[in-house]
Every structure is written in C-alpha cells, then in structure tokens.
A = this chain, B = another copy of it.
Amino acid sequence: MLTEAVREYLQANRRRHLQELFELLRFASISSQDEHEADCLACAKWVAERLRRMGFSAELRPWRKHPVVLAHHRQAGPAARTVLLYGHYDVQPPDPLEQWHSPPFEPVVRDGAIYARGASDDKGQFFAHIKALEALLETEGQLPLNVVFLLEGEEEVGSPELEQFLRANTEDLKADFSIISDSDFFAPGLPTITYALRGVVHVELTVHGPRVDLHSGVYGGAVVNPLNALAKMIAAMHDELGKVALPGFYDDVRPISEAERRAWAQLPFDEERYARNLGTEPLGGERCYTVLERLWARPTLDCHGIVGGYQGPGSKTVIPAAATAKISMRLVPDMRPERVVEAFERFVAEHTPAGLTAQVEVKAKAAPVLVRPDSPAIAAAKAALAEAFSAPVALARNGASVPITELIQRVLDIEPIMMGFGLPDDHLHSPNERFRLEQFYGAIVASAAVLKNLAGL
C-alpha cells in the first residue's frame, strides 16, 4: 500500500509531470528513419539526464544505430530486491501525416487525452515509472528496492541485436523481477496483466525481373512483370479460408486450451463496438476462430507495403525491374522465428515464377512469450493495479510483440511482468496516437505501488 504522502505528492505535481512528459514527446525519435538519428540521440540524452538528477548512474551505451540508456539506483543495498524496468524511447513514423488532427511531435491535451506520437507507445508508459520513482524518493528519501532502468531506442524496428546487448551486460542487468509497461488495459476501467505476447518475423521479399524498368506497351506480354508476380506470391500466402498457406507454418502452434477459451469468452468484448472503432467488420484471419483467439493465439501474415514501379501521382506505365514487399508474420507460442523464416524462404523458392529471381531479407524477429499467470510477482502487480485503479484486474494475452520480453525471460532468466496502461483505442502506430490523462496519472500510482509490493516479496 502506498503512503498518503506519496499520493499527495503525485496529486500536487500532476501539472509539472505532464509538462515534463510533453518535453519527452517532442523528440521525433523515429528509429527507422536515418534522418531522425539525431532526434533519437537527443531523446536518449534527455532521459538519462532526468534519471541522473534523481540519483541514478545513467549512461548511454552506443548500440547498433541508437544508444541504449542503462541506469542504476542501488542505494537499497545488497540485501534488497532488484527490479529491472524496461521501456523504449523510439517511436513509429507518424505518417500519414495529413490524418493527424494536431502535429505528431507537438503534444496537446484534448478531451482528456494526450495526443502525440509515442504518448502511449511507449514514452508515456516508461515516464510513469520515472515519476513513480521520483515520488518515492521525494517522500520517503529512498527507494524500497534497487532499480535497473533499461531504455532502448530500436523497439520499433524490432529490437535487432538487443539479445547481444543483454548477453554482453548480464551482470549490469541482474534483477529479481522485471516490469515491462508497453501494453494496455483490456478495456477502459479494466486493469490488465498481459501473460502472453505474439512474436514477429519481419522480412522484405524482393523479386527481380528485367534489367531496367520497361515500357508496358512495348514489352507488355513479353516479360513476367515483377509486380504482378509479387502480387501472386503474396496472394498465395493465404488460402481461401484466411489461413496462412506456408507449408509447416502452423506446425509448432500451441492449441488454445479449453480453460483459456472459456476465460476469453467471458471478457467484456463487444464485437459491434470493436467494428465501429475499426471502421470495418473484424473479418480477417482464420474464419474458424473468434476475434480474440485470432488476435492472441493464432499467427498471422500481413503485407505492410509494396515498393516498385511508380508510386507518385498520376500514371507511369512501366513494368518495373524489381518489386519489394514488406511482410511480417506474428507468431504465437510455441513457434520459433527461425523455423518460420525457413518456411517462408521455402515457400518463396517454390513460388518464384520462371523469368524472375527472388530474395528474402530478414529485417527483425522476436519469439513469442508466455508467462505463468499465478506467480507471486504477478500477484504483487495485480494488487498494485487494483490499488491504483480501484478495480479488479484481468489477465489477457496481447497480439503485439515486445521483443525484449522474451529476451528477459530467456537470456536474463527473469520472469517478465507485463503491466501496461494504454487503452485499446490509443491508435498505436496510427495517426492521432493518444494516452488518456487518467491512464498516465494512474500508471504513476500503480508503478509506485508495484515497486513497494515487489520490495516486500
């Protein structure tokens, strides 16, 4: 339980905390775009400086493209518990820009929510942990446990090589528990512990045809058009029932247990409302599963963009020399990224038409995650959520991928606690991303509470 002093401190500092979050949200820390490398670095420096002011030893560790912020607060002493807090300071590209109602990197509060790219994914969430630590330090003069902060800058490009980082820093990252706040409530008013995540394999499939782009009148009918052919290959990746058609793709998929089916069927899921929010019926994926089953426990394959030919305004009737599809597959327990890549490459090799060559480049991969939902740490987190939001707590899976989670589990051998504070309609990765004010302030309270609870385990 939190002291009254902590609660009062948080209440009294709401406005300042929001202003500070706005500072953090103004960094256009888009990790996938080279031109934003400086923004990523500036954002990492800003966060490290905040932590330093609170008594953390915080450093920027250069890594791949964007540095990892690694910070420690060890004044609780060797006998105390240690918690590893994770967050990512990088964000998705904001486009299509014209669909934003306010600029993505100029945060505003509108109708009780903070609008900005990264508000919910993930700056608002990890910043809540920082403010919780600040509140404990300011009111109690110390932290109840030792804290390691790990903030990466490449989550939105799939955390490539983060595994190597963890392996190279196992001593620095040693902890008893790990909290990852990069997910959401199942529904408004229903705090949620996530006990499973999908993994992901992101690839680029390129098909090469003629040496140069060709006039479609002069050559149309003589050459295999890489765009036509790529469309055919993508089309063949699903069967008529919405199943992924890569041979072997489902081999390792863990079936959904009857207990889970029953539990999920009892969650407050309103398909009509869900469709209204989407602007379309939820008719994707495998017909024979419910929406939640498809989102949480069934793998998918999606195309995210096709590059090749002419994409500007108006027309240019070329047969392109090459065409590339950006494709990701979401994996569920117990699928392994390596086996999925193999299945994909085999499929491509078998479906490349004569007259073309194809190549597959793996851009990112992360294994799926499944944790025990009944550990003492999870109980501590549930109690903290219940205390902060005055509501019972749900257990849910999540269809998204947070690559660090599986690495914390497998490489560092720490059980991850996934307590996230977003809401399902926060528009992650979309225009008008937002984080509700009540979720931000509640997250700070819950974060302070879970640290206290874990310290006592």
* Contact, CB under 8 Å: B34 / A313: yes
A219/B295 in contact, CB under 8 A = yes
Q: Which B residue sits closest to A204, measured CB to CB?
A: B315
Residues of B close to A224: CB separation below 8 A = 280, 283-284
Known: A281-B355, A300-B216, A304-B317. A231 touches B234 (CB 8 A): yes
Which B residues are CB-close (under 8 A) to A278? 210-211, 214, 219, 222-223
Task: Kindly report which residue of chain B lies nearest to residue A298, judged by CB atoms.
Answer: B221
**B305 pairs with A215, CB closer than 8 A:** no
Question: A38 on the interface (CB 8 Å rule)?
Answer: no
A285 pairs with B221, CB closer than 8 A: yes
Chain B minimum-CB-distance residue to A183: B218
Q: Contacts of A375 on B, CB cut-off 8 Å?
A: none
Complex contact B210–A315 (CB within 8 A): no
Does A308 belong to the interface (CB within 8 Å)? yes
Indicate if the CB atoms of A429 and B316 lie closer than 8 Å.
Answer: yes
Pick from B227, B302, B353: contact of A317, CB below 8 A.
B302
CB of A344, distance to nearest CB on chain B (Å):
15
Chain B residues contacting A386 (CB-CB under 8 Å) are: none
Contact stretch, chosen from A248-256, A388-396, A397-405, A444-452: A397-405
**Looking at the complex, which one of B156, B236, B307, B318 makes contact with A311 (CB distance below 8 Å)?**
B307
Are A158 and B315 neighbours in the complex by a CB distance under 8 Å?
yes
Copies in the complex: 2
- Distance between Cα atoms of A339 and B15 in the complex (Å): 65
Q: Which residues of B contact A305 (CB under 8 A)?
A: 227, 308-311, 316, 320
The reply to whether the CB of A330 lies closer than 8 angstroms to some CB of chain B is yes
Q: Which residues of the other chain, B, contact A238 by a CB distance below 8 angstroms?
A: 228, 232
Q: List 25 A-B contacts (CB under 8 A).
A: A32-B314, A93-B316, A210-B280, A211-B278, A211-B280, A216-B304, A220-B328, A221-B399, A222-B284, A225-B302, A228-B235, A228-B301, A228-B302, A231-B306, A283-B355, A302-B317, A302-B319, A304-B319, A305-B309, A305-B310, A305-B320, A307-B311, A311-B311, A315-B326, A318-B430
Q: 3 tightest A-B contacts by CB?
A: A211-B279, A217-B400, A32-B314
Given A32-B316, A225-B284, A235-B236, 14 additional A-B pairs, CB 8 A: A93-B316, A95-B312, A198-B217, A212-B432, A213-B429, A213-B431, A214-B278, A222-B294, A227-B303, A232-B235, A304-B310, A304-B317, A307-B311, A311-B311
